[in-house]
Amino acid sequence: MLTRTTGWVLTTDRLLTTSDSATRWSDVTPSRDGGNLETAFFLNQKQAWAVVRSPDPDWASNYSSSLDLYRSSDGGRHWIVRHTGATTPIDASGPVYLVFIDSRHGWMLVDQGSHAGFMYYKGFRTSDGGDSWTAAAFPESGPILFINELDGFISGMKGSFVTHDGGKSWQSPPMQRVTDARVSPVFELPTFSDGKHGVMLGRIVDPTVGDVGEIFYATSDAGRSWAHLSTVANPSLPSSAGLGGVSSSSEWAAGFLESAPPPVTTSTRFALTRDGGRTWEWAPTLVSGALTGPISFAGSTGWGIFNRSGCRGFKTDCFTNDDLFQTDDRGLHWRQLSVR
């Protein structure tokens, strides 16, 4: 979400925007020549970028496809294209991660097909809005966030890392230890309300039990130090903890997975705080499905993409869908949005 009424959604093959609270959607997909839409990023309602894989792979030399960057200054109505110089394997490519902090400075990480045993990825940065790219170092493959030219974050299979020199060096964030030696939090990217103040949530993983809860930390110095604020226990062990979201410095949602009645197999139960984790309340109803990424908030309004899967018969008529839901009260109630 960009404001309470405007936002964008990336589907399998389309980029859509809305300016009227998802009542109507505009298709602003940048390429119509058969190239695969890899990722997109909107800095605001006007400035946007998207990465598209070339429809003409290089079969002769290295079995790869080039990645082109599309840039718009009018919310996606018109695009200009630039070659990034980056490539991705034809048969084993991973996701592409993209972030900009202003109209000129951006970072891109191209996963080359990482898996549990090995990580293959390439990093890039630009200082001219994407006209040209240079190599950038990252400690792993995963979602990236920069809040200015120096302070950045990444979260992936190896854990979480932070940089304060523009990516020249990375280290684990200095977290106040509040769990015992058996368990370790797995963190999402932080959410910042300004250039210094942010909140980061993570799942507490106990290898003998599973996800025993969710934990919240805060920083007031752009991630140079983190203080523990609150921990929420998983009410449905041994089920997993889900994802959540941060709507402000004191208002957060923690999600937990529970079994759902057929045909959907999983639902999400939300714990909510309005006072920085001092007190929590449970949302009155469960949301069908499991969050695929943290909730995107704009004030009290938030969007979440929920994966809903199951079988209508015994191992027959099986399905999996990703559906967009909206909350207007910071996660207390949810309704499904139509995306057409």
Residue carrying structure tokens 């957060």: 252
pLDDT score for 181: 63
CA–CA gap between residue 157 and residue 114 (Å, rounded): 10
CA–CA gap between residue 146 and residue 163 (Å, rounded): 9
The reply to whether 209 falls in a domain is no
Query: Tokens representing 234?
Result: 């998983």
pLDDT score for 119: 85
Residue carrying structure tokens 């969007």: 303
CB distance 241 to 234 below 8 Å:
yes
Closest Cα to residue 325, out of 298, 287, 272, 278?
A: 287
Burial pattern 305-324, b for ≥16 Cβ within 10 A else e, equals bbebebeeeeeeeeeeeebb
Q: Note down pLDDT in tens along the chain; length 340 residues.
A: 999 999 999 998 899 999 999 999 999 999 777 788 999 999 999 999 999 998 877 666 667 889 999 999 999 999 999 999 998 887 777 899 999 999 999 999 999 887 767 888 999 999 999 999 999 999 999 999 999 999 999 999 889 999 999 999 999 999 877 766 678 889 999 999 999 999 999 999 888 888 999 999 999 999 999 999 999 999 988 888 889 999 999 999 999 999 998 899 999 999 999 999 999 999 999 999 999 999 999 999 999 999 999 998 888 999 999 999 999 999 999 999 999 8
The reply to whether 171 falls in a domain is no
Q: Supply the range of the domain harboring residue 5.
A: 1-136
CATH number, domain with residue 52? 2.120.10.10
Query: Tokens representing 2?
Result: 């960009």
CB distance 304 to 245 below 8 Å:
yes
The reply to whether 28 falls in a domain is yes
pLDDT score for 175: 86
H/E segment holding residue 66: strand 64-72
DSSP characters over 121-172: EEEEEESSTTSS-EEE--SSSS-EEESSSS-EEEEETTEEEEESSTTS--B-
The reply to whether 110 falls in a domain is yes
The reply to whether 249 falls in a domain is no
The reply to whether 296 falls in a domain is no
3-state helix, strand, coil in the chain (%, to 5): 0, 50, 50
The reply to whether 208 falls in a domain is no
Q: Is the pTM of this model over 0.75?
A: yes
H/E segment holding residue 179: none
Query: Tokens representing 64?
Result: 């790869």
Closest Cα to residue 7, out of 319, 331, 305?
A: 305
Measure CA 299 to chain center.
18
The reply to whether 224 falls in a domain is no
In total, how many domains does the chain have? 1
